[in-house]
Every structure is written in structure tokens, then in C-alpha cells.
Homo-oligomer: A and B are copies of this chain.
């Protein structure tokens, strides 16, 4: 059998029907993915939360995962940082003519593993095929529905609040850049793609009242998320360089390629801002989960440089971390 996607896989006819029923639905879960135009789900109890993300990462396969794992975990995390419990995902594929069906299967198996790991379901999908040169191998849109629980992660931020991350930063973006630049890997350089719903739910239930803000630090990295937070506010955010958890391998690649891990994408890390009196409890709660094993407080909210994010180093003193302007890492997710 020819192991490539051809245009007829997207034409609404028999070959497309076979691709969907014998490969896509077969792998993602026969009992959950509905073949109809839409999936009819049960009633839900609580406020709905809705999100969407399209993944165009290149390369499609990388150390620590692939575009499929990324797509599932990314959407799970987008819902989780709102304080929602992720429930249902969709899977919209754009396939380039000539893409290997064996690679597609590998990606779908990763998606299945990721949904099982996060405890969510893919319930509906769509598949389009475009001519060679009109897309790059495979793009995946995962939209997601979650349900709000009894806590919220959005409250006013005030001076004194603690800024926490759940582990090392820049791992995903720097791993992808190392692959693209064909740098040889020492062990430990790998995408951090992981689902954060269980860790965040536990924090929400136990310390929800103390959490002011949570956001996954994807494109643009920790510095960009924090710049969005300070925006036009009267407070600033100070990071302490010595506290930033950055793997040695990541530092090494950053030096070679002239990149800054603070602006590099993460796919399993959140920035969490909290009442300082509960910061230690929250860090300890994160550390109970493998997804938060290296959690640490990295800075705090103050009034020193209104609207700005800055970093303080014992040796170098202060420097502002501006909004990202130039493109650092295209197609990182």
C-alpha cells in the first residue's frame, strides 16, 4: 500500500472515509470520536470555557514529543490556566499531499497517549488535504471545552505578590531551535510538553483563594507573559536572575545561538502569581506532581518600574525585559 497522503484523502469520498474511520478514529478512540458532522455530548454542569489553538511546529518530530502531543497538551493547558477542568477536544488536521501515513499514525498515537494521560477525550474532527507546497507536512488545530470549577485564577495583582514557575524555563523553544540548527544533544535537552490540569486543579482546590493569575508561558516565553500582565498597570515585576531555573543544556544552546531562555517557548510551564503568604505552600503543592518537581519562586510584584518587567542580578544590577519585538522563533508551536 502506498504510504503517502494523496489529494483524494480529502475529497469527501471513499478514500477519505477510510482514512478517517480506519486510521484517525481507530487510533484516537472508536468509542469517543463521533463520525457525524458534530459530536453530541452530555449536558454539563457549570460555566463553559472554550479555547482554540493551531499547531504548525517544525520539525514535526522533536526530542520530547511531536506536534500531536504538543497540540493536546497545549489545549489542555490553555483551559487549565483559566481554572477550568478540560473535558472535550476536537482535532482538525491539515495534511500536505505526500505526507507519510506512517508519520500521521505516529502523531495520532501520541495524541491518544496524551489525551489518556490528561483524562480528556477527542470527540470530533476534520481532515483537509492540500497540494504539495501549500502547507508544511501537517498542521493540527485542537479546540477544547472545559468546565469552570469553584475557584478562579483571575484576581487583582498587588505589590508584594510572589511570581512562581513550576520548573525549568525555555526547554521547548530551545530544544526545537537546537534540532533546527542540528546541534548535537547532550542528555536532558528536550521539550517540556506536559499536561498541567491535574497539578493546577489541586492548587485551585487547596489554594485557589490565594492565586491571582496563571498563564502558560508558550510563545514569547516567561518574559512575554509577564509583559502582558504588567501592560498598562501601575506595578512592575522583578525577577531575580539567580532564582531562574534554567537547565545547563539550555543555557549552552542559548549561548551558541544568541537566544534568551526568558523569551523561549515552554509547553508545560506556567507563570503563577499569588499572595506571598501562600507562595511556599503553592510551590510545595506543585512539587508533589512530576509536572512541578522543580517549582520555584522567581520574583515578585513591586512598584519600582510601573508597567515593566525587569530582572535583577547580583553582579549585573537591573535590566528591563522589554516586549518581544523581533521574531525569535517562528513556528515553535
Contacts and interface: CB of A to CB of B under 8 A. Distances in A.
A22 interface: no
A331 B148 contact: no
A326 B48 contact: no
Given A54-B126, A56-B94, A130-B56, A219 B12 contact: yes
Q: What is the count of identical protomers in the complex? A: 2
A51 interface: yes
Interface stretch (A135-143, A161-169, A233-241): A135-143
Contacts of A295: none
A52 interface: yes
Contacts of A184: none
Nearest to A57: B128
Given A37-B82, A38-B79, A324-B14, A129 B330 contact: yes
B327 A84 contact: no
Nearest to A38: B51
A13 B48 contact: no
Interface in A267-283: none
A270 to B, nearest CB: 10
Contacts of A79: 37-38
A323 B11 CA distance: 11
A133 interface: yes
Interface stretch (A60-68, A220-228, A245-253): A220-228
Contacts of A265: 12
Interface string A91-102: 111100000000
A73 to B, nearest CB: 13
14 contacts: A6-B327, A11-B326, A11-B327, A11-B329, A12-B324, A13-B325, A14-B227, A36-B154, A40-B47, A41-B47, A54-B94, A55-B128, A56-B135, A141-B141
Given A16-B219, A54-B94, A134-B136, 4 more contacts: A11-B219, A16-B220, A54-B139, A135-B139
Interface of A: 6-8, 10-17, 36-56, 58, 78-79, 81-82, 84, 88, 90-94, 123-126, 128-131, 133-136, 139, 141, 143-146, 148, 154, 215-216, 218-221, 224, 227-228, 265, 323-331
